[in-house]
Amino acid sequence: MVTYLDGLISKAKASAFEVVVTCQVSIWTGECDALGLVTESDTYDGLVARACLIAPELPELNGVAADADNLNLSFPSAKSQRVGLLMVATLYPQLSKLLRVNGCVIIRQGKGSHEIWQSPIN
């Protein structure tokens, strides 16, 4: 059984693993190095469901000392970032199109998912 903890770690004697969640252009990614988990989905809820579905198989496959029948997955940063990430993920295609229509071009990739654009008026 996998327990999904939204920002909380249970005090039960279960193996607890933190899943780092990121979202870029409407693709949600979850990673947990300690468990060997990497998965993605179109939605945050889909990501959580996928992580909970595949997590029980990973301790044995990846040689992790954990009880596969009693795992706790936490997504601590996801809840606080979820609204902002959803807004960015849904607005980016519109913003990108608006910039291109007005003659702007990407001149280079910045840190992470940031892009550096150049405007024809500057």
Closest CA to 33 of 14, 18, 49: 18
Q: Is residue 16's pLDDT more than 80?
A: yes
Give the domain extent around 24.
2-91
Q: What pLDDT is attached to residue 85?
A: 54
10 part of a folded domain:
yes
Q: Do the beta carbons of residue 107 and residue 116 sit within 8 Å?
A: yes
- Segment 34-74, tens digit of pLDDT: 999 999 998 888 888 899 899 999 998 988 888 877 888 88
Q: Give the 3-state secondary structure of residue 74.
A: strand
Q: How far apart are CA 56 and CA 33, in angstroms?
A: 15
Mean per-residue pLDDT for 6-15? 50
82 part of a folded domain:
yes
Q: What pLDDT is attached to residue 31?
A: 93
113 part of a folded domain:
no
- Segment 66-104, tens digit of pLDDT: 887 788 888 876 555 555 555 555 677 788 888 889 999
121 part of a folded domain:
no
The pLDDT-based confidence of 3 (bands split at 50, 70, 90) is low
- pTM score, two decimals? 0.56
32 part of a folded domain:
yes
Any idea what the CATH number is for the domain that residue 9 is in? 3.30.2390.10
Domain count, the chain: 1
The pair of structure tokens assigned to 38 is 């990497």
In order of 8, 15, 20, 59, 77, the CA distances from 11 in angstroms are 10, 10, 20, 20, 19
109 part of a folded domain:
no
